[in-house]
Structure 1
Amino acid sequence: MNRPCKPCFFLLYVGTPANIKRRRYYSPDIKRILYAMCLERSAPGMMKEGVTKSVASDMGVPLRVVQRVWLDGKTGGGISAFDSNKKKNCGGKKLPFNPDIIKDVAFNVPLRQRHTIRDLASALHMSRSTLHRSLKEGKFRRHTNAIKFTLTKQNMKERVRFCTQMLDSHSLPDDPTFKSLYNVIYIDEKWFYRAKKNPIYYLAPGEQIPRRAVKSKNFIEKVMFLGVTALPRFENGVCTFDGKIGFFSFTKLEPAKRRSPNRPRGTLELKAMTSVTRETIHKFLIEKVLPAIKEKWPAEERGCPIFIQQDNAKTHIAVDDPDFCRVAQEDGWDIRLMCQPPNSPDLIILDLGFFAALQALFEKSSSSNIQEIEANVIKAYLEYPVDRSNRVFLTLQACMREIMLAKGGQHYAIPHLKKGTPERIGQLPVRLQVDKEDAVHFITA
């Protein structure tokens, strides 16, 4: 066995000593700059005394480097001597990719056989690497397809009618725009789970994998919340009303039936309601939602009509419920209930984007019981930025505009309004405009 000599053997197993200086690499661009400075400070064809020293001092490089650059430039034909010698366009030629292959196979290969790059490469008889490079170059695209809710013809008519009713009558027919939606309050329910089944973490090399365990993956602790929110108000860039009416949890206090090492028998414990009925919603609306609205709503708008929009769930009460109407009309208030069209989660800001944002904020915390779930959800609700809530209302109006163009259909792409740019300069609109001809057509239809 041939072993390396003693110095090499030492470096192989111990490493390079710290006191050994490595030669620094100077790119061709730096060498051109050094040579140009030397030419600038010298007479034609003659180097003046002290030029290399001054250039080395100004550029912070060793004197020998400047001297070597000057010598290479003189002997190599000037500044072109520092051109890179790296070969270009070397190696095998890239095979051309014909996009028509994708178009041809789109009519022959079912969509269910095109879920992955591997399946598509097999259908095209191509390598996965070639197909992946073509994907990065934009020769074809990746699409995530979301399943939509089924609509009947009556549903589509009601969706169009609802959107046209949201147009401001004073702006018709010359400049049709949506209403400001300042007097609309949106309510809806959402489950928040203690933990996700398959979250994604980024771990450092060698870091221990998190250990999570529950008694049953199908019965993870969860709490239902009733969200109540409205459009925030701004005056001269200052928020005067954040629109956060409340976020109420469906929980109750029950005495413990058995003793445990953590508490004695009979201790009141916070439990989540496993069944939310119409009577429960009726009680929450009268005892929690209406008092919160009357407490937080701008006092100068008392007496003006305020609409609470709800979906058509079976647990929601009727819009003419006598108990609700009696409490809603007390003390000079005019609060009314209204329902959105059936099968239309895209017509309420909570399902459109508000709940998803709260879910993302909630998942940044860690909850181990019902009390912590409730506390973390309320914390996420209070910390949610008001300006982002204001953007969701503009997205709602954009969706209503697309619904009218789609004749009440649900297969449309949510438009990107680029709301960040006008918001930074204080020109974010409150209402969106609608094409005049389209507005007249749908109103008269």
Structure 2
Amino acid sequence: MKQYDTNDKRHIYSMLLARNGENARLKKGVLDSVARDAKCNRRCVQRIWKEAKTGGSINAIKSKRKLKCGVKKKMLDIEALEAIPPRERTTIRQVAGHLNMSKTTVHQRLKEKQIRRITSELKPSLTEPNKKARVLYALGNLEPSSLVDDPTFKGSFNIIHLDEKTFYRTRKTQNMYLSHREEAPRRECKHKNHIQQIMFLSAMARPRYDAHGNCTFDGKIGVWAFVGWVQAKKKSPYREKGTWEVKPSPSVDREKSREYIVNYVLPAIKEKWPEKDRWSTVYIQQDNARTHIKADDPIFAFEAARGGWDIRLVNQPPNSPDCNILDLGWFASIQSMFHRKMPKTLPEIIQKVQESVDEYPHQKLNIIWLSHQACMREIIKHKGGQHYPLPHLKKKTLEREGKLPVRLKVDKDYVEASLVV
């Protein structure tokens, strides 16, 4: 519990006098308001008031602490902490043992922010050509007309990000909150490494809004499951022999990728794309997986040009998941929503994934596109490097205040320095 010196206690008494006057009895609400503003306990404020009234004046209020009393604070030796090998300070117990301190003391220094806890993320290793490709990618997303005075990113309204994601029927471990009378749900499967799964192909664009902030296009092109319908070869307790059932595709190769892009992605783009940008060039960005079709694939080019459309396929930089909004945050959000629905069968996996996509707010999708610009800004700043903290822009606060930007700016000095690379 905090110990207050004489000046602190007299300051609290002055607050009481200012709000209550010289009355012997405290008015309703004064005690709570002073305790809240002084950030102390109600009983502490009561004792100070009673002490002053009993003694007759403010001079009667004195601290009962005598000189320097109580347990002496054990200071943190920063140099000793930094001398501990990183692999030997992954837990509070390890840190406390090396510093010869109690775990409680180390935790207190953590709360005081003398120590900070981090999560060290394992990122893809990059070669020099990879870094150059990342810089060129980020610079290519800047408005050419803004490079001279105030470099600003493009709105990215004509880009669609494409990628695959595997969804498992359930997690190996699932957190839940139960009452003291409930039993924990009994979850079981034949083998933890053979949980039912389906791979999905996702395509997302940036949402669009009118001058009044109303959404005119939510950016959700679609998600498609890599599955097929097959007849059951044997009878089981759940269905008869010969019953048609959903089965995941045994493999997703280049032919399968081409089939889904041509038969599902392109028709969805042409159906949902805003009419006012009907004659603009549309770019589909994919990663560099070997199973993906090439940018100049003739079948894709033929189908994409049907109806007078100008749809082109481009690749993102190698080893760069931070250059794709799906890997950057969208997949994690959808997966979190999906697992809350707890599907039990393969058809339910498809259904619950689609429900999660339909329920996903377009505001969040727009925010992820803004995070994509923030990551490209860090790529320029770090000359293609991947070891940078994910930037926090307080986007939700800006959105509530109606100040959320559409495009971010980059310091001109960083752009000029990156050109040297």
Q: What is the rounded CA distance, in whole Å, between the counterparts of 2:53 and 2:389 in structure 1?
A: 65
Residues 1:279 and 2:259 aligned together = no
CA distance in 1 between counterparts of 2:420 and 2:134 reads 15
8 Å CA contact 1:173, 1:440 repeated in 2: no
1:317 aligned residue (293, 298, 307): 293
After TM superposition, the score normalised by the length of structure 1 is 0.80
Aligned match of 1:367: 343
* Match runs of 1:236-385 below 5 Å: 236-385=212-361
Q: How big is the shift at 1:342?
A: 0.4
Whether 1:386 and 2:386 are equivalent positions in the alignment is: no
Task: Kindly provide the CA deviation profile for residues 226-278 of structure 1, in whole angstroms up to 9, marking residues without a partner as x.
Answer: 11000000011100000000011111111111123332211110111231111
User: Aligned equivalents of 2:344 and 2:67: distance in 1?
Assistant: 59
What letter is aligned with 1:131?
V
Q: Distance in 1 between matches of 2:206 and 2:51?
A: 70
Matching residue's letter, 2:353: V
The separation in 1 between residues aligned to 2:298 and 2:21, in whole angstroms, is 92
Residue 114, structure 1, aligned to residue 114, structure 2: no
Cα distance in 2 for partners of 1:418, 1:39 equals 46
Superimposed CA distance per residue, residues 34-89 of structure 1 (whole angstroms, 9 cap, x where no aligned partner)? 9955799xxxxxxxxxxxxxx99xxxxxxxxxxxxxxx9999455779x9999668
Letter of the 1:177 partner, please give it. Answer: T
Contact 1:186 1:308 in 2 (8 A): yes
Deviations 1:372-413 (A, max 9, x none): 111111111111111111111111111101011111110001
Q: Post-superposition shift, 1:193?
A: 0.6
Please identify, of 402-411 and 122-131, the stretch whose mean Cα deviation from structure 2 is larger.
122-131
Deviation at residue 165 of structure 1 after TM alignment: 0.8
2:207 matched to 1:229? no
Residues 130, 442 of structure 1: alpha-carbon distance in 2 compared, 3 angstrom cutoff: closer
One-letter code aligned to 2:204: T
For residue 417 of structure 1, the aligned residue among 374, 378, 393 is: 393
Partner of 2:71: 94
1:146-180 deviation digits (Å, cap 9, x = unpaired) = 11111111101111111111111121211210111
What secondary structure is seen at the aligned counterpart in 2 of 1:246? strand
Structure 1 window deviating more from structure 2 (253-262 vs 361-370): it is: 253-262
Instruction: Supply the distance in 1 between the matched residues of 2:345 and 2:419 (Cα, whole angstroms).
Output: 52
The match for 1:169 among 144, 169, 186 is: 144
Paired residues of 2:81 and 2:95 also in contact (CA < 8 A)? no
Provide closer, same or farther for how the CA distance between residues 121 and 254 of structure 1 changes in structure 2, counting only shifts above 3 A: same
Contact 2:52 2:58 in 1 (8 A): no
Aligned residues: 385
CA-based RMSD of the aligned residues comes to: 2.8
The structural deviation recorded for 1:315 is 0.7
Q: Kindly indicate whether the alpha-carbon contact (under 8 Å) linking 2:52 and 2:61 is maintained by their aligned counterparts in 1.
A: no
Q: Which region of structure 1 is more displaced relative to structure 2, 242-251 or 295-304?
A: 295-304
Distance 1:75 1:292, change over 3 A: closer
Instruction: Decide whether aligned partners of structure 1 residues 166 and 436 sit closer, same or farther in structure 2, where only a CA change above 3 A counts.
Output: same
Q: Is 1:151 aligned to 2:126, yes or no?
A: yes
Percent identity reads: 44
Question: In the aligned structure 2, how far is the partner of 1:84 from the partner of 1:266?
Answer: 89
- Helix, strand or coil: the match of 2:109? helix
> What is residue 207 of structure 1 aligned with on the other side?
182
- Within 2, Cα distance between the matches of 1:412 and 1:430? 23
1:73–1:216 Cα change, 3 Å: closer
* Deviation by residue 1:340-382 (Cα, 9 ceiling, x = unmatched): 0100000000000110111111111111110111111111111
Contact between 1:302 and 1:332, CA under 8 Å: does it hold in 2? no
C-alpha distance in 2 between matches for 1:352 and 1:221: 25
Other-structure match for 1:129: 104
Q: TM-score, normalised by structure 2?
A: 0.85
Hey, what's the Cα distance between the residues in 1 that align with 2:142 and 2:217?
24
For 1:248 and 1:89, the matched residues in 2 are separated by: 73
Contact between 1:232 and 1:243, CA under 8 Å: does it hold in 2?
Answer: yes
Aligned-partner Cα distance in 2 for 1:34–1:299: 67
Is the 2:381–2:415 Cα contact (8 Å) retained in structure 1? Answer: no
Alignment pair present for 1:196 and 2:171: yes
Does the 8 Å CA contact 1:237/1:426 hold for their aligned counterparts?
Answer: no
Q: Is the CA contact (8 Å cut-off) linking 2:153 and 2:408 kept in structure 1?
A: yes
When residues 140 and 444 of structure 1 are mapped into structure 2, their CA distance, relative to the original with a 3 A threshold, is closer
Q: Secondary structure at the match of 1:106?
A: helix
Report if aligned partners of 1:97, 1:134 keep a CA contact under 8 Å in 2: no
Alignment partner, residue 64 of structure 1: none
**Structure 2 CA distance for aligned equivalents of residues 318 and 245 of structure 1:** 21
Whether contact under 8 Å (1:35, 1:73) holds in the other structure is no
The CA distance in 2 between the partners of 1:86 and 1:208, in whole Å, is 52
